[in-house]
Structure 1
């Protein structure tokens, strides 16, 4: 279907440290950017608790979504210029799909909650489902803007997020093992964390991308740029996203929200200012307005108030989070996992409620995988196109990628208060310190 879309009288540009200029030519894109639901993303950090480790990591979901839009726009321009469809079903690019791709790219993260994945874990929310709900609900400004294109346009955009849209090229632009989303967050997160692990040649990758009937492939002579992207993604996960200190702050945040939820469920918040915006989440009865009312700043305001709360655990965890007091950690494996209950008991005997001051945190990633028809969660593999038009999967021609294929990387950590590592000869820790040290060695602590 061809949509009649209003073009802006003059292109609008947004300055960006990663892409230099982000170009907006369609009225619908500018209108989406100006909706209250999209502007809310300015108030949600892209990397959550990672900013406690990498002080520059203050970028927002807003800037990331704008970047994903811009990369998708460049992909569409490349496809239109070099691979325009000539006959129906020829597998080349139909530029009528552009506006669906651009809107999905811009809105793909609009359903993220405050502190993103930590919040999802505590309150059992799913940002992709919320994204689809926000797009398709007539209550939202986003939906109203999209319906100006056509009555069924919000559902089309949401189906891209759900991976059910009927054009696999559009779906893979936004969600695959090498997509606009991943390419932007790797470059953006590397820039703002001050690391170099996520750097790769975006310009070259966009140049060698090409559509085919079942999705997107990459020219054979661009294989090494794609290979470099896979390796940079692996390094970013190991060195940045899985950093043990960031995870230590994530554990504090998780326990803090859990304590607040437990107090509410036991009617122990009646004598203190009620966290009204969190009540729908405590009661598992969340509407769209409830969901969109929360952002990082709202949670931080509650945490500030809770530093004066009469409950000592909530007060202490609020202080620890706002004042950057992460829990310490030690790696464990299948052999040493059996001592974790003993360690938790020692922590409790030192005066810390183990339910709130000990935790395990597992961070694993699959850097690259190939399609498996028997897998519960199939991944779209990276296809390399030879000169004759035949396709070959990346890991079969790249020794470096093959070394990472199907190999899960990461670690498992046990988190506990830093006090357990400090000897206090005259107080409650005098006995527990030595017991704890029997199992925890300093060279394992990070």
Structure 2
């Protein structure tokens, strides 16, 4: 890998220029619609319409494509076809998201996005990172209320610092592309591991004969949830050893944040809250439909009595995997009560009456938990790597672009 310090040492004089000084032309078809051409969208996926919704995290996300054209619409619309490596920029809602054309596709440049054609003194790769570094500058030149936008007239006024040295542009781009590709690699690994985890969860919690592919013991039997979960109903005044916490869909049992901290409204300093202990299974009866069920990994704490917390007799990790499955949550939701959707809830007594199949062997239960915990650890490690390398990329952008 190219040394960062070497790059800093060889840096020549950077110049302040207008952003468009090395742009030969802008491909901009904003405002163009199939209707204006006497045509219409259709379902040929070879001709995706690129709009601002497709540009995120430095990449093109075709899964969000809303429209597709055909060869005839493409020929009428795209007077200039997009080329590999070409940089595209969102101009509205949001302003300043950047991506590069990395696949040979017949893209139809659609709403709120433009493409740049650079001259011989500006590399496409360098422009891509240059725009990422100057996102805040672009925002300063944007106008509008709720949905801010930037016009070509405003783009002509934007000034940025860049090196005129092509060799230096290439070195900087190469290093940043290595970092960018590492991020992509670990994001892909995280997604694949997530798919493996989903597959194994479905397979390992099945009482079908397919389970015998993994375990010697083929015997599963039906059990009520109440056979291994017991509701905890102790209450306490929060203190230093039993702090007041929140319970959220995203983080489970978690310290109080400003968003959830409304205790200043409570006038009684001796108000008691429900206790939850480490490895309890916790759920929010009204938000179970949104996935509000998790194992308490925080430790001993107190929270609102609206939450339900269970002591488990089984392996706590196994129990968590069991109750967080979509199939299980959907089963529980059959018993939710209430007239207003937002307030419909699954009562604890109904939750405990649910019936599920479990392995008869504690060895198999522990083995399932171990497999899925290992996968969760791998997913977390890869997510942490993505976060770390993203921070490195951000620091490099700040350091290498004067």
Place the TM-score, normalised by the shorter chain, in its bin: under 0.3
TM-score, with structure 1 as normaliser? 0.23
Write 1 or 2 for the structure with the bigger share of helix.
1
Larger radius of gyration: 2
Write 1 or 2 for the structure with the bigger share of strand.
2
TM-score, with structure 2 as normaliser? 0.25
